[in-house]
Chain A
């Protein structure tokens, strides 16, 4: 063992190493904290990149991306994008589908379809109720 005392800490740069060490640990985990807290937002943006680009460089398309699209002019890009996903999934589910099965399919594929989107699609008669919890896409 070497000599003891505060001066040993100073001569071994102990204080500096401790400060730099703690700072690095905090900075590392702070960096991860920041990154992780933004990660899910970045993923949502990435998933909706088409909608985002359309929002920035909007070029009206003559062809409807899905039946009923033209009735969604006054809604947000997010809802339009969610509606597009909903249409693809509704096609996948068959001519007639239930809202719960649609949401189930969306969840399995990690796709977000909000209740707000479903509500708008119903309000604008883009999806139409056939019988109890069974709907069809108004094409």
Chain B
């Protein structure tokens, strides 16, 4: 009887408390958003399930938690802590991404630069409310709307905040269709939202093949700290465009990225144990994350309006919102908002240009922040 009672005292039912319960509810909400609402299901489902896994109460001696050295989850988490998974995801993103629209109208890349304002203003905001500079930099990068970049930088600068920052980054990425439209509509007039853009020129295969090589050299020479991310992004794109490595590109954009996404999402979710996640810092991180997304969206839209002052062929300022990375969700949101005004206005391909430029911009920003934070 004594053994039975002793065993029962170690079960989750006996150990559960309010914090664990709350986190289990959070995990369920994330799964619900992914499955029922289709908000980034490929990310939210593994993350949500990871949150459940990370918050199963257990006694410390069993050594199964993600933070217990030598546990299975700890080994899987190694790739997050050491920044291994984000570059692998970038390899897959590179192998998926078609840079044609950006190559056809490179001016739109500047919208991707403007949207990175969200990163730096949030960095200032986090410093202002008392976060240490490396923590502030990690929180700021949420504004890049790029999950792998956020995880990569946080793993380097503030690993103790990996859970809340990655959950905030991915949650807000999933909520792009909810966060962005009101800001986009608030900052544009109906007339501006109705602007139709010229068809982009056709891009030759040679251009597409040369771009990853010259793009890599230029960006890494400018921000060498971003080398792990850029090397993989541009390698993936070269594999796609070279025409002779289709098999490798196919693996990178399917099996590899899917495998890494499952492990990354799951381990990031499992890292949100109630005792490390439910802190006042996490609440601040979520507030600052929302601020970062809003500022990034607004900066892109406002900069597009600014560019229009000088352009003969006006651009639809809505596409500025796609400057936050979140590929391709923010471009899709632009398309949805534009079509709600004019059913025959197709902005998706135009929005993809600032969208992919945003990926490059946020990785440069991460490199700069990392450079300044490393003593």
Contacts and interface: CB of A to CB of B under 8 A. Distances in A.
Interface of A: 1-6, 8-9, 12-15, 17-18, 20-22, 24-37, 39-40, 43, 110
Contacts of B218: 28, 31-32, 35
Contact of A28 (B123, B205, B223): B223
A40 B110 contact: no
B188 interface: no
Interface of B: 102-103, 106-107, 109-110, 112-113, 116-117, 119-121, 123-124, 127-133, 136, 203-207, 210-211, 214-215, 218-219, 222-223, 280-281, 357, 360-361, 364-365, 368-369, 372
A25 B365 CA distance: 6
Contacts of B364: 24-25, 28-29
A40 B211 CA distance: 10
A114 B117 CA distance: 44
Nearest to B369: A21
27 contacts: A1-B280, A1-B281, A2-B132, A4-B129, A5-B128, A8-B127, A8-B130, A9-B127, A12-B127, A17-B123, A21-B372, A24-B368, A25-B364, A26-B110, A28-B113, A29-B364, A30-B110, A30-B113, A31-B222, A32-B357, A32-B360, A33-B106, A34-B106, A36-B102, A36-B211, A39-B103, A43-B210
B141 to A, nearest CB: 11
B120 A18 contact: yes
Given A26-B113, A31-B222, A17 B281 contact: no
Contacts, number: 125
A18 B119 CA distance: 9
A22 B207 contact: no
Nearest to A8: B127
B133 A43 contact: no
A30 B219 CA distance: 11
Contacts of A31: 218, 222
Given A13-B133, A18-B120, A36-B109, 17 more contacts: A4-B128, A6-B128, A14-B124, A15-B124, A18-B121, A21-B369, A24-B222, A24-B364, A25-B116, A28-B219, A30-B113, A32-B106, A32-B360, A36-B103, A39-B103, A43-B207, A110-B206
Contacts of B357: 29, 32
